[in-house]
């Protein structure tokens, strides 16, 4: 993998190769320029209260309950929200630009480490379709942004190793911290630094351990915080998909490593949500992937003095190290859907790409001129195939309908895809199709309370009220604490005129989670219809305390205050609704009516 080759041409024109890499990256990701928001973008950006609020930075940095704890990534979203609102194009362009910048940093990093064909490695990685999920999905800014700081941290550390100037070390620490605050899975950074030191010198010194120790301290702190945050999310989900013994975790780890390696080698039928494996620890075959990894590591160690074995340790070791946080040894919320995902190997994939290209380059050079020509041709073909594949894969992320439809084509048993596609269809008014999707989801898992609740809502929209009520009640029999079922059942009962029963359901939902502004608003509406105006006013006010920018709630509070005879306060609420939503005609009419009556 290593070579003393000189990059004289690059050193004379250091801007040419990075420029080519950036241009090619933007070309292959051109379909994302027309893409919108998809799954989880609401949680991180479009419907995130902290990102929307002008004072949201305090919540982002101080709370584990604001989406996930990626404070620097959420800060970037907060800044973007101030600059260009909810126009998806700039967010996509930022992701593509960061990915292109990461490709350039990979090139410079490998060049500094004297890895063969560094530019080809960086280019192959930049256009590899396995990275599309990280680049075309706005939510995965956490990957592209953390990657930027991760590579900068390694480069600054290597520069410090070469020059021994303190400011490079400080910059490395700051970039490492920024990577951790962008995405906690970069906690493996100190081990990667040790790996790079070993690659350059073949050994470690006490000074190396001392220099990298502060990175370990930062990583351990973020690891502890992430474990707490993930456990909280898993506990709130209230399901048992993460119950896995130690044997199962080792089986999962072995299988996952080979899965990711295969997807790099053969990136066909890349899927947004892969089938969730059933792990059988009693089967001998289940242990073969892990056994293969162990045997491979032992053989590399036996022949460690050989250059190819050393390269294997470096490239393969980096690959496994970067995958370590998502191999199953730690509970990850995403595991409820699948144990593997393309975005999990965004940083890890560089290791195997570099290893494969470096070894291929060495073989071609030994074969002489014809081997070099063959290698150049193979590289060009690989770049073309991967670039076209990435361009095609990027189209899948145009919108939620395309995304979930493609997922179901490749993974028909994907419960979340049926559920989410049904929700999209329901919002589009295609209630019959939505009901079909929810029913398919329940065929996969009859106890899925989300699908059953959504089915109830779709049935209610279709006018099948009694069936809808029964679906809500079935969901609550499975999980009596499922907030959405209580809330939606309350709305359905209110529309049927059963206000006291509706109020009871909304109040139960708020006992489980008191911080739901929309549920409080709905409860206020129910109380108004029941003639309990003072209680309705209190609920509206509490909803606005939780989420101040809800124009409809300001309007409803204005109505309640007007009915209570508190006209100046009512006008103030209508005016606030208009400030948030200037084209709110009902609020304008209400103000005119009250002012005319004064």
11: confidence class by pLDDT, cuts 50, 70, 90: low
- Say which DSSP state 513 is in: -
Q: Residue 38, by phi and psi: left (phi above 0), alpha (psi -120 to 50) or beta?
A: beta
Distance of CA 256 to the CA centre of its chain: 19
4: confidence class by pLDDT, cuts 50, 70, 90: very low
Q: What is the pTM of this model?
A: 0.89
Q: What is d(CA 362, CA 342) in angstroms, rounded to the nearest whole number?
A: 29
CA atoms within 13 A on the CB side of 526: 28
pLDDT tens readout for residues 528-587? 999 999 999 999 999 999 888 889 999 999 999 999 989 999 999 999 999 988 888 898
Of the listed ranges 187-196, 356-365, 432-441, the least confidently predicted one is 356-365
Name the burial class of residue 329, with classes exposed (0-12), middle (13-18) and buried (19+) by CB atoms within 10 angstroms of its CB: middle
Domain boundaries, the chain: 8-37+86-395, 529-598
Whole-number Cα distances in Å, 171 to 149, 150, 176: 10, 12, 8
33: confidence class by pLDDT, cuts 50, 70, 90: very high
3-state class (DSSP) for residue 402: helix
Whole-number Cα distances in Å, 501 to 79, 480, 522, 562: 44, 16, 13, 26
pLDDT at 72 over 90: yes
Q: Report the percentage of the chain scoring pLDDT > 90.
A: 68
Residue 576 structure tokens: 């606030």
6: confidence class by pLDDT, cuts 50, 70, 90: very low
pLDDT tens readout for residues 230-275? 666 555 555 555 567 889 999 999 999 999 999 999 999 999 999 9
- Taking the CA atoms of 15, 21, 27 and 29 in sequence, report the sign of the dihedral they define: negative
pLDDT tens readout for residues 96-113? 999 999 999 999 999 999
pLDDT tens readout for residues 329-383? 888 888 989 999 999 999 999 999 999 998 888 888 877 777 777 888 888 999 9
Q: What is d(CA 368, CA 346) in angstroms, rounded to the nearest whole number?
A: 34
pLDDT tens readout for residues 137-185? 999 999 999 999 999 999 999 999 888 789 999 999 999 999 999 999 9
Query: Rounded to a whole number, what is the distance in angstroms from the first to the last CA of the chain?
Result: 84
Bridge partner list, 264: none
DSSP string computed for 219-239:
HHHHHHHHHHHHHHHHHHHT-
On whether the CB atoms of residues 264 and 230 are closer than 8 A, the answer is no
HEC per residue, 156-222:
HHHHHHHHCCHHHHHHHHHHHHHHHHHCHHHHHHHHHHHHHHHHHHCCCCHHHHHHHHHHHHHHHHH
Q: What is d(CA 316, CA 308) in angstroms, rounded to the nearest whole number?
A: 11
CATH of 529-598, one of 3.30.70.890, 1.10.340.30, 1.25.40.10, 1.10.3720.10: 1.25.40.10
Long-range contacts of 446-453 (CB under 8 A, 24+ apart): 447/478, 448/415, 448/419, 449/475, 449/476, 449/478, 449/479, 449/482, 449/485, 450/419, 450/484, 451/415, 451/418, 451/419, 451/422, 452/478, 452/485, 453/482, 453/484, 453/485, 453/488
């Amino acid at each position: 993998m290593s070579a003393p080759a000189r990059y004289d041409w690059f050193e004379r024109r250091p801007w040419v190769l990075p420029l080519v890499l950036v241009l090619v990256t933007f070309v292959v990701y051109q379909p994302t320029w027309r893409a919108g928001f998809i799954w989880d973008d609401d949680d991180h950006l479009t419907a995130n209260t902290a990102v929307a609020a002008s004072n949201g930075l305090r919540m982002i940095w101080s709370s584990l309950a604001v989406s996930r704890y990626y404070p620097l990534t959420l800060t970037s979203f907060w800044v973007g929200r101030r600059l260009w609102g909810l126009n998806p194009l700039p967010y996509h362009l930022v992701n593509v630009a960061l990915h292109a910048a990461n490709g350039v940093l990979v090139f410079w990093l490998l060049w500094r480490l004297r890895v063969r064909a560094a530019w080809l490695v960086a280019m192959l990685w930049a256009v590899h379709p396995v990275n599309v999920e990280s680049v075309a999905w706005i939510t995965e800014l956490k990957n592209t942004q953390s990657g930027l700081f991760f590579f900068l941290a390694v480069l600054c550390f290597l520069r410090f190793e070469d020059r021994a100037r303190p400011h490079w070390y400080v910059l490395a620490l700051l970039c490492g911290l920024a990577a951790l605050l962008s995405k906690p899975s970069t906690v493996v950074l100190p081990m990667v630094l040790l790996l790079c030191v070993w690659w350059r010198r073949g050994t470690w010194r006490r000074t190396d351990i001392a220099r990298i120790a502060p990175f370990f301290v930062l990583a351990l702190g973020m690891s502890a915080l992430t474990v707490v945050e993930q456990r909280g999310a898993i506990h709130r989900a209230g399901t048992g998909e993460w119950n896995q013994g130690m044997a199962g975790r080792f089986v999962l780890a072995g299988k996952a490593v080979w899965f990711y390696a295969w997807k790099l080698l053969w990136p066909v039928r890349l899927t947004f949500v892969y089938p969730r494996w059933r792990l059988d620890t009693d089967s001998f075959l289940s242990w073969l992937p892990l056994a293969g990894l162990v045997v491979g590591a032992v053989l590399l160690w036996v022949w460690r003095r050989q250059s190819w074995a050393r390269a294997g340790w470096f490239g393969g070791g980096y690959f496994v190290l970067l995958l370590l946080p998502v191999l199953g040894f730690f509970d990850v919320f995403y595991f409820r859907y699948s144990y593997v995902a393309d975005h999990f190997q965004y940083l890890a994939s560089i290791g195997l790409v570099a290893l494969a290209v470096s070894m291929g380059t060495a073989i071609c050079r030994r074969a002489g001129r014809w081997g070099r020509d063959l290698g150049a041709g193979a590289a060009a073909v690989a770049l073309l195939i991967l670039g076209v594949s990435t361009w095609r894969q990027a189209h899948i992320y145009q919108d939620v309908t395309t995304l979930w439809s493609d997922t179901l084509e490749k993974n028909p048993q994907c419960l979340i895809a049926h559920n989410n596609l049904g929700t999209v269809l329901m919002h589009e008014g295609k209630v019959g199709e939505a009901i079909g999707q929810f029913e398919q989801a329940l065929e996969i898992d009859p106890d899925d309370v989300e699908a059953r609740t959504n089915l109830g809502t779709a049935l209610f929209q279709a006018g099948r009220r009694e069936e809808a009520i029964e679906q809500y009640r079935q969901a609550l029999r499975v999980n009596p604490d499922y907030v959405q079922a209580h809330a939606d059942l309350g709305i359905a009962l209110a529309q049927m005129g059963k206000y006291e029963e509706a109020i009871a359901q909304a109040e139960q939902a708020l006992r489980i989670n008191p911080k739901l502004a929309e549920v409080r608003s709905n409860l206020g509406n129910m109380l108004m219809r029941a003639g309990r105006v003072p209680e309705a006013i209190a609920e509206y006010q509490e909803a606005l305390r939780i989420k101040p920018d809800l124009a409809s709630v300001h309007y409803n509070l204005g109505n309640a205050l007007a009915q209570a005879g508190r006209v100046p306060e009512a006008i103030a609420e209508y005016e606030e609704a208009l400030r948030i939503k200037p084209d709110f005609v009902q609020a304008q009419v209400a103000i005119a009516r009250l002012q005319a009556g004064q």
